[in-house]
A and B are shown apart, each in its own frame.
Chain A
Amino acid sequence: EAGVVQSPRYKIIEKKQPVAFWCNPISGHNTLYWYLQNLGQGPELLIRYENEEAVDDSQLPKDRFSAERLKGVDSTLKIQPAELGDSAVYLCASSHNSPHEQYFGPGTRLTVT
């Protein structure tokens, strides 16, 4: 069974530029999560989807961050414009029957210069 796929794995951009991350969850997993992980910290939830519906986006900074999950499968997380403080690893995870046991992708490491 293929795991959670994320791309790109690494991204370097200048501040004020836009950036987008893509996630393909495990087949059949209807719940998808985006997490932010700063250096030396644990992952922090940004947004959770149940199928195509964002059911928890309370931690998503909506002034510059947006996300979508069209057709309830793949998902894209966008930052526009990026700031220096956005440098972090962005993790995508998915789950099915057990929401506590989430399967994580390898993450996208973003560096904003």
Chain B
Amino acid sequence: DQQVKQNSPSLSVQEGRISILNCDYTNSMFDYFLWYKKYPAEGPTFLISISSIKDKNEDGRFTVFLNKSAKHLSLHIVPSQPGDSAVYFCAASEGGSNYKLTFGKGTLLTVNP
């Protein structure tokens, strides 16, 4: 049973527009959430994270929103750039001394010029 779900395998947006990537989770013990970006033939790269005590975290063009009651988080990229084209993985951990990250299956984002 997947504890972290990314239900959209792919997303295509125009350059300059907003990209919204969604993630749902089922484990109520998760208290820290991350987004990783992955280019082909490279390992995932940490992008942005959010603790469960917050509902928003912003870093430049990237903002992550967390809705704990809905067990849902989203990553907003504004404005989207062609270089943002990659696979985006949502990940979660239970925090404390449990360092295990549980990943979703990823969403392939394509930003068209």
Residue on A nearest B44 in the bound complex, by CB: A104
The answer to whether A42 and B4 have CB atoms under 8 Å apart is yes
The answer to whether A100 and B43 have CB atoms under 8 Å apart is no
A99-B99, A100-B32, A100-B101 known; A42 and B43 CB under 8 Å? Answer: no
Residue on B nearest A105 in the bound complex, by CB: B43
CB neighbours of A56 from chain B (8 A): 99-100
Subset of 5 A-B contacts with CB under 8 Å: A40-B105, A42-B91, A43-B103, A100-B95, A102-B101
List chain B positions with a Cβ less than 8 A from chain A.
4, 32, 34, 36, 41-46, 49, 89, 91, 93, 95, 99-101, 103-106
Other A-B pairs beyond A45-B100, A100-B95, A107-B43, 14, CB < 8 Å: A41-B105, A41-B106, A42-B4, A42-B89, A42-B91, A42-B103, A45-B101, A48-B99, A56-B99, A56-B100, A91-B44, A99-B99, A100-B101, A104-B44
